[in-house]
Structure 1
Amino acid sequence: MIDAARDRVPQAATAGEFVVALRDVRRRSGLTYREISRRASAAGHWLPPSTLATMLGRNTLPRERTVVALLAACGTPAADIERWVGLRREIDARLSEPARWEDEQTPPASTSAEPDSTHRTPGDPHPVSRPARRRLRMGALALVGALTVGALLPRGEAATSASATACPLVLRQGMYGPCVLDLQERLAASGLRVPVDGWFGPDTTSRVIAFQAMVGLSVSGTVDQPVLDALSRDPVLPVMWPENRVSISLRETFAQDPAEAVRVARCLSGLDPLRVEVMTDGSRRWGLFQFSDMELSRRGVDSRTALDAGWNIAAARDVWSRTGDFGHWHCPPAP
């Protein structure tokens, strides 16, 4: 439930801190990206889920209208929205000050010859002044710092860094930072429950594989531009069965031994129909009863089908009916 009273204007001094505060508003609202988009539209704003994901995934100052749309959708009072907008304008003004100051401090071009104030190379008709060279060097150093700071920061600081770091071309398990956080928020907005903590761990890998399978992409567990493009298109994915529905279906299907059916499925997948486990040899196991790649091939089904809870339970029932027990799965009872 939205607690608008808590969405007070933060003490943000930089664009990055401002965006972090907006992320916090979104998280505390409890709304998905789709829900925020629908609420914003109802309030007369335009805020597609992809635009929202992009805005919250960067550390640059967002547009004023998108800030207003997000806050309005999350139930922030009008008076507080005005103060948010005022803060954004203050930050924007501060960001513009260095450029103006530099322009004012740059001396006018001299008409007298000053051999040591410029650098001229043979054949170069455009000499570069010392102040210009200094600005170029500072800009290059700032760019290098922005590209490397995400890798150098400790885990707890990487996700909230105010520097606008460029995301790698491929995201994979073991990475950490704002780019992974953006990915996780996009997955969550698509209906795939995943920890939104900025760490690309096994849970995120599982969800990436499930997403790739369901939208027909190559199943790799890594995230490249085609995956991000698919997420930006706001794909319509099958509704994930909640745990109580899974439990009821298991008990009905395995009426002869309902408690054991639930226990085994919980042991294998945590009753998560979209759970995908990657084995040490690179093979994968799919869904509630963790059917292997080889088992899917033998049954003539694809990975998308394997993630369908109804199919997975029916296939497990078929195995159980032939063996008479759950010995096919290695899931010993808890001591």
Structure 2
Amino acid sequence: MNDAGRDQVPQAATAGEYVALLRDVRRYSGLTYREISRRASAAGHWLPPSTLATMLGRTTLPRERTIVALLAACGTSTAEIQRWIAMRRDIEARLTEPSRWDGPAPGADEARPADPVTPDPAPTRTIRRTRRRGLRLGAIALFGALAVGSSGAMLAGAAGTVGATDEPTTEGCPLVLRQGMYGPCVLDLQERLVAGGLHVPVDGWFGPDTASRVMAFQALGGLPVSGTADGRVLDELSADPAVPATWPEERISKHLWRLFPEDPAGAVRMARCLSGLDPYRVEVQPDGSRRWGLFQFSDVELSRLGVDRRTALDAGWNIGAARDLWSRSGDFGHWHCPPAP
């Protein structure tokens, strides 16, 4: 191991110094962010490159699990990792200790703060409120543009999602992420979806695109299709999910031209209008039902055809089923897709 991780772990007095030492560990290791991410995953940790970059770019104390993931990926021994964590806790204790006492310094009773007597509940609540306020301010700075014009209800939902980019479904994140939320917890979910092969804008906003990708992942993995992300979904996304590679647009277009020789341009135009030529597109209808894949077959249609949702997301099956419907009438009257304005 490098100098920053030998038996004598360097000491830091502030959060900024602590993060600087972690940067040294990463630099001396000679590993890229992606290499560290892969090694952390192999060791059973979750450390996306973007999360690592964010952590090392701040001057605040990272989460313990993130520190462990980084150090383990860089080859730090278990004993040394424990010393790193002990140092982090010492720094955190010094940062929070001044807030535990009201009024002037203890003076003659200076020894009292070291006394492990259970603190008064009121100061504890003050500390927690201060931490939450800091987390919210950070999220507002990052996602301010999204918050402009938002309703009070939306802001209330967002407060439940901020503050735990590094540790999903633990302190700071809701147990279930759902549409309408935004913040670092949603960012983490989106990063996992992208890493699993389901491309979605990584903007921290749990909108229809993210909901569509979550439902696609649930259908492809045989999970209950809820459109929300709970701990099970996040765990499955962390476990190198086996999401079949999606068809690129060129392959979809060529297949449509082969199966619809009578009107290939019309077939491409209809599929693009319905799904944007996205085989994994899932749309939720006003009545709560869903439509699946390139030609947006409904839940009822899938039931009649005797196929599951995973099958509906297969581009080859979806186009073949659309061809069967087209052959009955010779046109695309089965589908209704208004032209773009």
Q: Classify the TM-score, shorter chain.
A: 0.5 to 0.7
Q: CA deviation at 1:60?
A: 2.5
SS at match of 1:199: coil
1:291 is aligned, of 263, 279, 297, to 297
Match of 2:27 in 1: none
Matches within 5 A, 1:222-237: 222-237=228-243
Q: CA deviation at 1:299?
A: 0.3
1:56 aligns with 2:51: yes
Q: Distance in 2 between matches of 1:274 and 1:162?
A: 28
1:255 aligns with 2:255: no
Match of 1:138 in 2: 123
Matches within 5 A, 1:178-193: 178-193=184-199
Instruction: Indicate conservation of the 8 Å contact 2:191/2:202, yes or no.
Output: yes
Match of 2:10 in 1: none
Match of 1:273 in 2: 279
Q: Distance in 1 between matches of 2:165 and 2:232?
A: 25
Q: 1:128 to 1:334 in 2, by over 3 A?
A: closer
Match of 1:66 in 2: 70
Deviations 1:253-285 (A, max 9, x none): 212211111111010000000000001110000
Matches within 5 A, 1:77-156: 95=92, 97-98=94-95, 107-108=110-111, 133=119, 136-147=121-132, 154=140, 156=143
Q: 1:145 to 1:175 in 2, by over 3 A?
A: farther
Q: Distance in 2 between matches of 1:96 and 1:56?
A: 24
Instruction: Indicate conservation of the 8 Å contact 2:37/2:48, yes or no.
Output: no
- Which ranges of 4 or more aligned residues in structure 1 deviate by more than 6 Å? 90-93, 99-106
Q: Which runs of 5+ in 1 are unaligned?
A: 1-12, 23-30, 71-89, 110-126
SS at match of 1:211: helix
Q: Which runs of 5+ in 2 are unaligned?
A: 1-13, 24-31, 56-61, 75-86, 145-157
Q: Which has the higher relative contact order, 1 or 2, with Cα contacts under 8 A spaced 6 or more apart? A: 1
Q: CA deviation at 1:139?
A: 2.8
Matches within 5 A, 1:25-40: 36=34
Q: Distance in 2 between matches of 1:190 and 1:299?
A: 29
RMSD: 4.2
Q: Distance in 1 between matches of 2:95 and 2:310?
A: 53
1:309 aligns with 2:315: yes
Identical columns (%): 52
SS at match of 1:288: coil
Q: Distance in 2 between matches of 1:272 and 1:14?
A: 45
Q: TM-score, normalised by structure 1?
A: 0.66
SS at match of 2:291: strand
Instruction: Indicate conservation of the 8 Å contact 1:47/1:66, yes or no.
Output: no
SS at match of 1:51: coil
Between the two proteins, the alignment pairs up a number of residues equal to: 268
Q: 1:50 to 1:278 in 2, by over 3 A?
A: farther
2:220 is aligned, of 210, 214, 217, to 214
